[in-house]
Every structure is written in C-alpha cells, then in structure tokens.
Amino acid sequence: MNEIAENINNIIKEVQGVGASLIAVSKTQPIKAIQDAYDGGQRDFGENKAQEMTTKYEALPKDIRWHMIGHLQRNKVKYIAPYVHLIHSVDSSRLLAEINKEALKNSRIINCLLQVHIAGEATKFGFDEQELEAFLASGELEQLTNIKVTGLMGMATFTDDKEQIDREFRGLKTLFDDFQDRFHLQNFELTELSMGMSGDYPIALRHGSTLVRVGSSIFGERNYG
Ligand SMILES: *Cc1c(COP(=O)(O)O)cnc(C)c1O
C-alpha cells in the first residue's frame, strides 16, 4: 500500500468507528497524490479553490465526490456547479442564491452546509449565530428550490488550547441540535456536522462531527511554493 493510503487507513478507523466520514483535503496536492489516495479506496476529497478543484475533477475518475470547503466567491460558483457533491462553506444568503441559480441551470439540486463562525479570531468566514437564525426564520431558504441545506460547518480557533477548541465544537453541536428541533423547512434537513481538521478532529468526533476534513495528516505538510 502507498504511504498516503496508509495514512488514510490509520485515520479512517477512528472516524468510521463513531459513524463519521473522512474527507481528504487535497488542496495544493498534485494529481498523483490524489490518485494514490483513490487507489487506496478514498472517494471524498476537499478543495478550497474552484478552478483548482475543476482541473482535478477533469483529470481524475468521475466517481470522486468533490467537496468545496473554502471561501467561495459568487463568480466562481459556475465552475463547480455541474459536478460538486457538497459545498461546506456557504457563508451568506447572497452566495446561497447564486448557488441556487447555477444549480437550476444545471438541472440539479446542490447540497450545502451553512458555515457558522465559531472561532475566536475575527478573520474566519461564516454566519454569526444570530444572523443564521434570522435567515432561517425569514423563510427565504424555501424559495431556493435547487438548494438543499444538509448541515452545518465550523472551524475552531487555531490554538493549542484544547479547552477552547472543545468549547467551540460543543457550541456548534448545541446549535446544530437546536436548529434541527426548531426549523422545519422543505429544503432544510440537518444531518451533517462538518468539523475537525488534522489538529483537532479527535475533539470534533467527540462532539458529534459527521464529516472531518483532514489534509496534512494524510498528505504531509502543504507546500504553497
Ligand atoms: C485546509 C483545510 C482543512 C484541512 O487542514 P489540515 O490542517 O491540513 O488537516 C480543513 N478545512 C478547511 C476549511 C481547510 O481550508
């Protein structure tokens, strides 16, 4: 078995043991590295740039499920709309409306997660809790008939403080359960909770993550050149 597939094998036991799924974050990685992961059985890959993801989509087997995990500009949605499996990083209602438009053009329903801002840092993207609540209460989402919201996504603060990470993930899980109970919209069904990266996925799994997004622990440190 190649080294990348071996790394995946080690992580996936932990992830599948609690019923979650592993998304291999392949941003900046060459086609060869993704092919190695694919040969080991991995089918879910995460990218954070629309054009890079599209280039890889075109070059690689078509049964790969491509996950957009990075901040997505509205003018880039059209590149990924024909094939994207799940967009984790929806951080505004304007972006959601654009995804709906492109989904309609492609005669498909695009599954989306709403990204919630849970980290201490001010620089991370995402809805604030109150903002998200107001959006869901507005009923606006039900007009977007080519979108299905299937969950929430969050990124914890980049810190060594495990208690802070623990608090942030626990907070997102609480919000997830609360929204699941309170909002019953046609195209809103919270089943996925996307949280956890190389440094913090064991904590995320303890708090009910269903999708972990792991890059460097699989492929090694990224080289941004
Ligand atoms: C890069 C990235 C990851 C993976 O990070 P690693 O620390 O390499 O595991 C996960 N989620 C998002 C949104 C990312 O941009």
Ligand 1 centroid–CA 69 distance in Å is 8
| pLDDT band (50, 70, 90) for residue 153 | very high
Taking 60 as the threshold, does the pLDDT of residue 225 lie above it?
A: no
CA of 162 to the centre of ligand 1 (A): 17
**What is the predicted pLDDT for the residue at 121?**
77
- CA-proximal residue: ligand 1, atom 11 (nearest): 213
25 CA to middle of ligand 1, Å?
Answer: 6
Q: Are 208 and 173 in contact (CB under 8 A)?
A: yes
Distance 148 CA to ligand 1 centre (A): 24
- Percent of the chain exceeding pLDDT 90 equals 94
pTM score of the predicted model: 0.97
Mean pLDDT of the chain: 96
For the record, the structure tokens of 146 come out as 């080519």
Q: How far is the CA of 59 from the centre of ligand 1 (A)?
A: 22
- Write out pLDDT tens, residues 38-70: 999 999 999 999 999 999 999 999 999 999 999
Pocket test for ligand 1, best of 86, 117, 172, 197 (most atoms within 8 A of CB): 197
pLDDT at 124 over 70: no
Q: Is-contact 117 130, C-beta < 8 A?
A: no
Is 31 within 8 Å of 54 (Cβ atoms)?
no
Per-residue confidence at 188, pLDDT binned at 50, 70, 90?
A: very high
Task: Evaluate: CB of 214 within 6 angstroms of ligand 1.
Answer: yes
What pLDDT shows up at residue 224? 66
| pLDDT tens-digit map of 190-213 | 999 999 999 999 999 999 999 999
- What pLDDT is stored for residue 65 in this prediction? 98
pLDDT at position 174 is: 98
**Ligand 1 in contact with 70 (CB < 6 A)?**
yes
Mean pLDDT of 128-142: 95
Q: Is the pLDDT of residue 185 over 70?
A: yes
> What phi and psi, each to the nearest 5 degrees, are found at residue 128?
-75, 155
To 5 degrees, how large is the angle CA 44–CA 31–CA 90? 45
**pLDDT over 60 at 164, yes or no:** yes
What is the arithmetic mean of pLDDT over 147-176? 97
Amino acid at 224: Y
Q: Is 14 helix (H, G, I), strand (E, B) or coil?
A: helix
DSSP line for 78-123: HHHTTT-SEEEEE--HHHHHHHHHHHHHTT--EEEEEEE--SSSTT
Q: Using a 6 Å cutoff on CB, does residue 198 contact ligand 1?
A: yes
What pLDDT was estimated at residue 123?
64
Give the helix ranges, DSSP H, for the chain. 3-17, 31-39, 50-59, 77-80, 93-105, 129-138, 162-182, 201-206, 216-219
Give Rg (Cα) of the chain. 17
* Six token digits for residue 138: 């507005």
Evaluate the CA torsion angle 196, 200, 206, 207 in order and state its sign: negative
Residue 92 pLDDT grade (very low, low, confident, very high; cuts 50, 70, 90): very high
pLDDT at position 221, please?
85
C-alpha closest to that of 152 among 192, 186, 201: 192
